[in-house]
Every structure is written in C-alpha cells, then in structure tokens.
Amino acid sequence: MSASALETREGVEVRLEGLHREFSGVRALDGLDLTLRPGELVALLGPSGCGKTTALRLVAGLDDPDSGRVVVGDRDVTHVPANRRDMGMVFQAYSLFPHLTAQQNVEFGLKLRRVDRSKRAGRARQMLELVGLASQADRFASQLSGGQQQRVALARALAIQPAVLLLDEPLSALDAKVRAQLRDEIRRVQLEVGTTTLFVTHDQEEALSISDRVGVMNQGRLEQLAPPEELYTAPSTAFVAAFVGLMNRIPCRVEAGRASVLGATVRVTDRSVTSGEGIAMVRPEQLVVEASDAGSAEVLQVSFLGSVTHVRVRTADGHELLSQANGAEAARLTVHTPVRVRLVADQLLVSSD
Amino acid sequence: MIKAARRALPSLGMVPFLGYLTVFLFIPTVIVVVGAFQDDGRPTLDNVRALGSGPVLHALRQSLVVSASTAVIGAVVGGLLAYAVVTCKPDGAVRRAVTSACGVLAQFGGVMLAFAFIATLGFSGAVTTLVKDSVGVNLYGSGWLFDVPGIILVYSYFQIPLMVIVFLPALDGIKVQWREAAENLGASTWQYWRQVAGPLLLPAFLGSTLLLFANAFASYATAAALVSQGNPILPLFIRSALTSEILLGRANLGYALALEMIVVVAIVMTGYALLVRRTSRWLR
Amino acid sequence: MTLPRQRRARRQRAFRIVTFVVLGAFFLIPLVSMVDFSTRGTAGSGRTGEAWGALLHDPELTAAIITSLELAALTVIGMVLLLVPTMVWVRLRVQWAARMVEFLCLLPLTIPALVIVVGIAPVYAWVTYFLGGSALTLTFAYVVLVLPYAFRSLDAGLSAIDLTTLSEAARSLGAGWFTVIARVVVPNIVSALLSAAFISVALVLGEFTFASLLHYDNLQVVIAFFGKSNAKVSVSASLAALIFGFVLLLLLSLLGRGRKGRRTTAIEPLAVTTPAGKEVKG
Ligand SMILES: Nc1ncnc2c1ncn2[C@@H]1O[C@H](COP(=O)(O)OP(=O)(O)OP(=O)(O)O)[C@@H](O)[C@H]1O
Ligand SMILES: [Mg+2]
C-alpha cells in the first residue's frame, strides 16, 4: 500500500464542450459544458435519466456525440476511438472478464500494451494490493463478492495508468457499509496517483464526501459545478437547492435585496429574485424550533435519526416545515407541542418558482 | 420399521414411470448390449469382431466423415448466422422470425427433408431442371445426391439451424460491458475477439459442434429415405442387418452395430459434458 | 467523415444482410422446389393439382394420415398420463428423485432412436402378443421418444407456479391427490401442456425410424414408399406434413415467448436448449 508502488502521473485537464446527444427523440445531453482541472476528482450528480452515463460514455469514446467536443489536455479526442483514448473506466457492474482471474483481469490492459510478463505480473499485484485484494488474485469473478469485483475493476482501470479515470456508479450495486469503505478507498487511491477523475453517482453523500467539486446535472445540462460546501450552502439554482440535501420552500416577499421569511429579514443571494413574490430555500438546520406556549406553530412529527432529530411542524398559516433539533431540545418536543420557529441564516436563495 | 415404510411410501408413486421406462428404454438397451455378445444364447465375441470387417469399417468411416463435415459446416455457418442474429435488435421482428424459423427447421428432417431435396436436386428436380435449361449444366451428375455428398448437403439443412439454437444463448451471454471494458483498456476489435470473446465462446462452440456431430451420427430417417440401396453409412448398415436377418454371416450383427453407435455417441456426449462443465466454472 | 462506430454498424448490417439472403435462399429453395415439383404437369409443362388431390383420395395415403393422427393423439395422452402425475409427485413428495427423473427423461436424447429400435423388437413381440399387431401400438415407443421435449416444457411450466402452496391449499380444502392434479395443477400449466402436446404431435407426425423398422405403416413410411412409384405424391404429402408441423412448432415458439423472462445468465444454456444427439426427425 505504499505510495512508492505507484508512479504518479501529472493529471490532465479534461474539457467537455457543448456536448449534444439524442437517442431517437430523447435529448440525453443538451449542450453539456464541463471542465475538470488537472488531478481533480469531480462527481457528477443528478436525477436518473439526466444524462450522466451518456456524458461519461462520450468521454470514454464508447459513444459519439451529435455535436460538441471532448478535449483532453490540448488534444481534441472527440473522434479518437475508445481503445486509443487512454482512459480507465469502471462500470456499474459485471465488467470483469469471467474467463480470467482477478490477476489476469488486471494484467489485461498491460498485456495489450506489450508490457513484459514479469513487469506486468508485478504491477498487477501492486494494484491488487492497493485495493486490498492481493490474496484473492487467483479467483475468477464468479468467486468474488460484488464489492471485491468492483475493486478488481478499479485495479484494472488504474493498472494502465490512464490519463483520466471514469467511474460510472461503481458502488451502486453494493451495500451501504462496503460502499462507504470502497468510496474512501477510491478517494485515497485517486489522491495518491493524481489522476483526473470523473465520478458518476446518484448518491449525494457519496458525491459530497469524496470529491473536489460536484457537478449537478439536470436534463442533459450542467446546473452547477462547485465544491461540496458551496453547493450545499449556496446553491445557484432552485433545482440544485432542491436536489442536494433537504430543503424547505417558503413563500416570501423580496424588497431591495432583502427577503422577509418567518418574521426575519435576510439578504438574498446573487441569483435570487430581486423584488416581489418568491420562494425562499431554507435548509432544515437553518430553522430552530423551541417549545413555547406562545408559539404559533405546532409539532406534527418527531423523527429521531441518530445524530440529529428531524421535527416536522405546521405554522399558523398552514405551511409544513422540516427543521432540525439537537437531542436536548428534541426531547421536550412531542406531537401537538406548540413551538416557535426561528430562522438562522445570513442569506438565502429566493427563486421565482 | 413401520416409520421407515411410511417414509418410503410416497416413492411408490414413481413405480409406473420407472416401470414404463424399464420396459421401453432400459430393456431394449440391455438387449442391444447383451445381444452384441451372444449368438443363439451363447456368449461370443464374433459379432463384435465382425465390426472390424471391411464393409462395416467403411460404413463407420463414412459415417464419421458425414457427421464431422456436417458438424463443422453446421457449426461455422450456424455460428455466423447466430452472430448475425445477435447483432439485430434484441426484441426486433427480424430476430424473432429467424430464431422461430431455426427452431422449426432444426426439427425438420427425415423423409420430408429427403423429398424436399429430391424435388430440388433430384433427376427432375426444380433446380436441376432450371440449371439444365438455362446453363446447360447437369447438376444431377451420376446421382451424388443419393450418396455421401448428398447426405452431407441434406443434413446441413437441419444442422445449421440446430447450431443457431444451441449457440445463440452463448452469444447472448457475452455482455456489452466486456466489449466496452476491453476497448477502454486499449483492445482493438481483433484483440477483443482474440482475447475476450473468442476464449469465452470457444467451449460453447466446440460443445455445440460435438452436439451436432452426435446429432448427425445418430440420424437415420433422412438418410434412409434418401438412399434406398447400399449402406454408405452406419445407420443404413443397421437397416440392412435388421431387414435381411443375416448379414456378413451373422444373425446378431445388428446388436453389435447398435452397440458401436452407442459407444461413439457416448464418447462424443462425454466430451460435450466436459466442455459444458468447463464454462460453468466461470459462471455460478 | 465516418466514425469508427458507424463504420462498424454499417459493416455489421452488410454482413447481416448477406448472411440472411444467402441462407434464406438455401432454406427456401427446397421448399419452393417442392411446390414446383408437386404441381408440375405430366407433359413437363403446365400445372396440376393431382398430387395434392391424392392426399385426400388415395386410400393408402389417407389411411396412413389417419393412423399418424391417431398415434399423435394417443402419444399425447400417454405422455400426459405418464409424465404429469410423476413430475407433480416428485416435486411434492419425493424431491430426492428430482435429479434422477430429469436425467431419465433426457436420456432418450443420448440413446439414438435407431439403437432403441434394434433392441425393442423383442419387447414388441410381447406387445403384439398382448395387444395385437395394430400400428397404434407404436404409441408405447413414441411416448419414450417425446419424453425429453415434453419434460422440458412441463418442467418450465411447473417451475413457474408455486406447486406446494397450491396443492396444500387444495388438500386443506379436502381435495384428494387426483383432484389436486386434475383440478388444480393442470389448469395452471395449460400453456406448458400445450407446448408439450404440440412438440409431441410434431415429432410423431414426422416419425419414420420406429415405424419403418418395426414394419408398421404410418404417414412417413407410406410417403417413403410412394417415392418409388409416384414421387410427386410423396413430395406433396411431405410438404403438407411439413407445413402442418411448421404451424405447430411456430405456435409452440409463440407459446414459449409468453413464459420466458426467467432466464438470466449466460454461456451455459447449451445444456438448456439442446435437442441433443438424437433422431428427432422421424
Ligand atoms: N442507448 C440508448 N438508447 C436510447 N436511449 C438512451 C440510450 N442511452 C441513454 N438513453 C436515454 O438517454 C437519457 C439519459 O440516459 P443516461 O443513461 O445518460 O442517464 P443517467 O443519468 O446515467 O441515469 P441513471 O442515473 O438512471 O443511470 C435517458 O432518458 C435514457 O433513456
Ligand atoms: Mg447511468
């Protein structure tokens, strides 16, 4: 597991420019622009069918765009066949060659590159060690668990030291615990080798926890590309706000760049509605609930989630809100408890829809 | 005691089935095996020894030639057809039509098939006549249709579709991800076939070929209807043994010939079983 | 500029078209030739339906057709009576015998029909002694012949239903075993029974080996016999039998389509769909 096992390689920049792809009337990609900085790990997040896989396949050269370009470094690879793109890909599932052992699977790409036998075997072994599977090197795919198979697939993709690493929901077939473990492993290895990586997932936690930046896609386009914290605290569109994490949508009025929400007045963010009616996007943790006989809201439901407790309340004007409470406060809340709801935020996104 | 009898009771339900198979499958097989080593109720090796005589060896050799060549033709042509089928849309009309047709044609043989080819390439067959009238060439020749070459051609008619049916599942089992993973790792089309698809399909391909071999080797009706005189292949030799009572001076030669047939088919099917087991090592 | 993938798709399509056309011709020409041959006029020109008329009027041929149809019906009945109770019973009460029954049912695929015929002659001497020499006694041999195919259809049908629960429910309501099978199981495997029946009928109508070597006259034996005197009638009868068989087997493949969707994996199915080394063609 030593870093010296891996020759690190300068990461390259990857640019997706105006990619369009249509499948018999369905616009899978509708002008996707996305730039990955050298050595960075970007997670692509989005609802099912938004075009994530399509984007990845275009980068890998497994499919051709109707228009647009894929540029790696300063080379336009749009029309370069997949087998000459020098990209490592890990598929969602079942991509190990079933007639080869784990070791032989990892050696496959090296063999194609005419790396000689002993060097090849050595390198494959290093890779298997890196993913913690050295002891299973002689097993066939059918003798490995799903998680182990995915780790071999990762080792196989890394063995060829690709310029770019592409991961299409590599963890979605696994159970939660293995998923968390393998996800951290992927990040560790990626940092170690410094390969520019595009990681497709529909699991927010996965995306937010391991990536340098997260891209949120919707209907074939990129909505926002930002570091995880920024995406969470300052979503630039209503879609991103609603898609990432839990969000309350509270109608409000905006005047002179300030919105009045739940009796408080807060600054609105750049992309917000500047005046008139709008909908404020408020995170549960931005709402504080306190038991109070004078409170005009009422508790509907209290859900204990382990580290935090979610409290669903109804305000006097009939809106349902989700808020978060800490253990001590939550203990005093039960259904029908009258409460006061307070907004704790410096600025809010107020969208028009 | 009584408890054990109770537990054994449901097994009695198997008696009719087992009894039936005993009478109509096992006893005949045993009669063949035992009969091969008997003459007039006395044990002898003469019948088996007669298998080494010239005419029998000749028929066996021709049978092997017919089986091997139709197996290879069937496997190669049927393999190509199966590949053409998998490149169609998975649920498309073309694919469904071709697989249904193959399912039907693989079962189509015997007398009807023989007459189909007699109507086509026989002395006054449609194609024979057409070619004679238009090009002036006599396709009928000296009656090759009714000898080994004809048998090979006619057998191909059911061997090719049979190959499609037995080989198609193997081709379908090749996942797109494997091709894409191979491409992604730098494999050209040729390298993909050579190093991934080829090795994955080879056991199934060879297994199917063996199956076709056994299928041709055991076929009787088609050849019997096509060839009314002479014993160019082993099954027809058995016909002579059964209809003329005494052949090569031996009353029980038919049993020995049938035994020879069982042995050949058993060897081939064992090879087939081994190949199937080999692929199942890769799969669950 | 054409992309590699488009080139590959185009190459594949060209390959597909060539394959389908060439092989389509190979498979269609004999069938078309049969039509041509059987309708050819006597003087070498013109068309006549004589050979087709013979199918209805020639007494020997019609008798053989009737014999074969009766054999087909009897075989289906015999097959159902032998197989359905046994298979249901094995699933419900004697699970340990499941592998054995499967093995036995598939066995006729690996023992050539010709071999069985050679050995069955003495058995048939007894059958004739007890039941007389009617061609319909061929039913006994034919049930063995169709066993593997019928087994596969029925096995698929039975696997698709929850036999244990069904029968327990019926028995708790007071049904006896006969009622369970006839009233509960059978209605639930109708399409499997139909497939088994279709394939059995198709096989029996095409059967030649047993009949000819045991000296019974069924359809195929008579067709072959006619070949020496009047090939045209043989060809028309062959084509008619063929078309009938085609229709049956096509119906079968349509039936099969409704039930599939369980099969998931891959390379092994060699063992699943093999009319193995076996005289299936009569
Ligand atoms: N080969 C194809 N043929 C036809 N339509 C396709 C094809 N591939 C993708 N699509 C369509 O394109 C759209 C985007 O698909 P894509 O697979 O990229 O989505 P995704 O974001 O990866 O979704 P998921 O999270 O479910 O994997 C979908 O509407 C899909 O139906
Ligand atoms: Mg996807």
DSSP state letter for B142: T
Per the listing, tokens 């995406």 go with: A231
pLDDT score for B282: 65
Average pLDDT score, chain C: 83
Q: Which ligand does the CA of A19 lie closest to? A: 1
- B118 at the C interface (CB within 8 A)? yes
Q: Between residues C279 and C235, which one has the greater pLDDT?
A: C235
Residue that finishes a domain, picked among A206, A233, A260: A233
Domain at A264, CATH number? 2.40.50.140
Q: How far is B156 from chain C (nearest CA, A)?
A: 10
In the reported structure, the alpha carbon of residue A19 is separated from the centroid of ligand 1 by a whole-number distance in angstroms of 15
Q: What is the mean pLDDT of chain A?
A: 87
Any atom of ligand 1 within 6 Å of the Cβ of A82: no
Task: Find the DSSP H helices in chain A.
Answer: 52-60, 102-112, 117-130, 146-159, 176-193, 204-210, 228-233, 238-243, 327-330
At B281, is the pLDDT very low, low, confident or very high (cuts 50, 70, 90)?
low
- Give yes or no for residue B106 having a pLDDT over 90: no
Question: What is chain B's mean pLDDT, rounded?
Answer: 88
**Residue A52 CB–ligand 1 contact under 6 Å:** yes
pLDDT digits (tens, 9 = 90+) for B52-70: 888 889 999 999 999 999 9
Confidence band, pLDDT 50/70/90 cuts, at residue A326: confident
Angle at A340 between CA A338 and CA A342, to 5 degrees: 160
Model confidence at C270: pLDDT above 70: no
Please answer yes or no on whether B175 and A141 come within 8 Å at the CB atom: no
Contacts of A81 in chain C (CB under 8 A): 4
How many domains would you assign to chain A? Answer: 2
pLDDT above 90 for A325? no
How many Å apart are CA A293 and CA A192, to the nearest integer? 56
**CATH architecture of residue range(s) B38-283:** Orthogonal Bundle (1.10)
Question: Cα dist. C228→A284, B118, C221, C225, C232 in Å?
Answer: 93, 12, 12, 6, 10
Q: Measured between beta carbons, which residues in chain C are less than 8 angstroms from residue A64?
A: 3, 5-6
Query: How confident is residue A5, by pLDDT bands cut at 50, 70 and 90?
Result: very low
Q: Is residue A19 domain-resident?
A: yes
Q: How confident is the model at residue A89 (pLDDT cuts 50, 70, 90)?
A: very high
Is residue A213 located within the same domain as residue A252? no
Pick C135 or C143 by higher pLDDT: C143
The amino acid sitting at C99 is R
Please work out whether the CB of residue A54 comes within 6 Å of at least one atom of ligand 1.
yes
Sheet with A221-226, edge to edge strand ranges: A87-90, A164-168, A196-201, A41-45, A213-218, A221-226
- Report pLDDT for A237: 86
Q: What is the mean pLDDT of residues C275-279?
A: 31
Q: What is the pLDDT of residue B248?
A: 60
Q: How many Cβ atoms are within 10 Å of C49's Cβ, its own excluded? A: 10
pTM of the predicted protein model: 0.83
The reply to whether ligand 1 has any atom less than 6 angstroms from the CB of A58 is no
Segments making up each domain of chain B, as ranges: 38-283
Q: Classify residue A240: in a domain, yes or no.
A: no
Decide: A47 in ligand 1 pocket, CB within 6 A: no
Q: Write down the pLDDT at residue A29.
A: 94
Mean pLDDT of B223-227: 91
Q: Does residue C118 carry a pLDDT above 60? A: yes
Task: Report which of residues A332 and C121 the model is more confident about.
Answer: C121
The last residue of a domain, from among A180, A203, A233: A233
Distance A204 CA to ligand 2 centre (A): 15
Closest CA to B216 of B98, B127, B113: B113
Q: In whole angstroms, what is the distance from residue A193 CA to residue A317 CA? A: 55
Q: Is residue A277 part of a domain?
A: yes
Domain match, A212 and A103 both: yes
Q: Across the interface, do C6 and A64 touch by the CB < 8 Å criterion? A: yes
Average pLDDT over residues A194-217: 91
* pLDDT at residue C223 greater than cutoff 60: yes
Query: Does the pLDDT value for residue C84 go beyond 90?
Result: yes
- B87 in A contact zone (CB under 8 Å): no
Minimal Cα distance from B185: which residue of A? A109
Burial class (CB in 10 A: 0-12, 13-18, 19+), A157: buried
User: Are A81 and C1 inside 8 Å of each other by CB?
Assistant: no
A90 in the same domain as A25: yes
- Is residue A275 located within the same domain as residue A229? no
Residues in chain B with CB shorter than 8 Å from the CB of C119 are 27-32, 35, 255, 258
- Domain extent, residue A22, equals 14-233
Which residues 205-224 in chain B show a CB within 8 A of chain C? Answer: 207-208, 211, 213-215, 217-222, 224
What was the pLDDT predicted at B43? 84
d(C-alpha A116, C-alpha A118), whole Å: 6
Rounded-to-integer distance, Cα C280 and Cα C264, Å: 28
Are A49 and A174 in a shared domain?
yes
Domain shared by A269 and A152, yes or no: no
**In a domain? residue A79:** yes
C-alpha distances in Å from residue B54, one per residue of B60, B66, B223, C84: 10, 18, 21, 48
Answer yes or no: is A25 within a domain: yes
> Which residue, A185, A208, A233, sits at the end of a domain?
A233
Range of weakest confidence among A5-19, A217-231, B210-224: A5-19
Task: Quick: pLDDT tens for A24-59.
Answer: 889 999 999 999 999 999 999 999 999 999 999 999
With CB atoms and an 8 Å threshold, state whether C269 touches B200. Answer: no
- Whole-angstrom distance, CA of residue C144 vs CA of residue C116: 10
Q: Is residue A284 part of a domain?
A: yes
CB contact under 8 A, A82 and B196: no
Same domain, A78 and A179: yes
Q: What is the largest CA-CA distance in chain A?
A: 79
pLDDT at B61: 93
Our CA-based measurement puts residue A163 at a distance from the nearest CA of chain C, in whole angstroms, of 22
Point out the residue among A81, A112, A140 whose CB comes nearest to the CB of B282. A140
User: What are the DSSP calls for B1-58, one per residue?
Assistant: -HHHHHHHGGGGGGHHHHHHHIIIIIHHHHHHHHHHTEETTEE-SHHHHHTTSHHHHH
The neighbouring-strand residues paired with A16 are A34, A70
Q: In this structure, is residue A341 part of a structural domain?
A: yes
Residues A168 and A292 in one domain: no
8 Å CB contact between A40 and A197: yes
Q: Tell me which of A79, A96, A99, A142 to substitute to probe the interface with C (most C C-beta atoms closer than 10 Å).
A: A79
Domain-located, residue A270: yes
* Nearest residue of chain B to residue A59 (CA atoms): B184
| Chain length of chain A | 353
- Percentage of the residues of chain A whose pLDDT score is greater than 90: 39
**In this model, does residue A212 exceed pLDDT 80?**
yes
Neighbours of chain A (3+ CB pairs under 8 A): B, C
Q: How many contacts, defined by CB atoms under 8 Å, are there between B and C?
A: 316
C5: which chain A residues are within 8 Å (Cβ-Cβ)?
Answer: 63-64
Q: Which chains touch C (3 or more CB pairs under 8 A)?
A: A, B
| Ligand 1 atom nearest residue A200's Cα | 22
Within this chain, do residues A347 and A257 fall inside the same structural domain, yes or no? yes
Residue A6 has pLDDT above 80, yes or no: no
Q: Which residues of A touch C6 (CB under 8 A)?
A: 64
- Residue B178 CA to ligand 2 center (angstroms) comes to 17
> Mutate which of B177, B179, B185, B193 to test chain A, going by most A C-beta atoms within 10 A?
B185
Residue B122: is its pLDDT beyond 70? yes
**Is the Cβ pair B188, A108 closer than 8 Å?**
no
The ipTM value here is 0.87
**Residue C83 reports pLDDT greater than 60:** yes
Q: Give tens-digit pLDDT for A237-292.
A: 888 888 888 888 888 888 888 888 888 888 888 777 888 888 888 888 888 888 88
Least confident range from A265-274, B209-218, C166-175, C257-266: namely C257-266
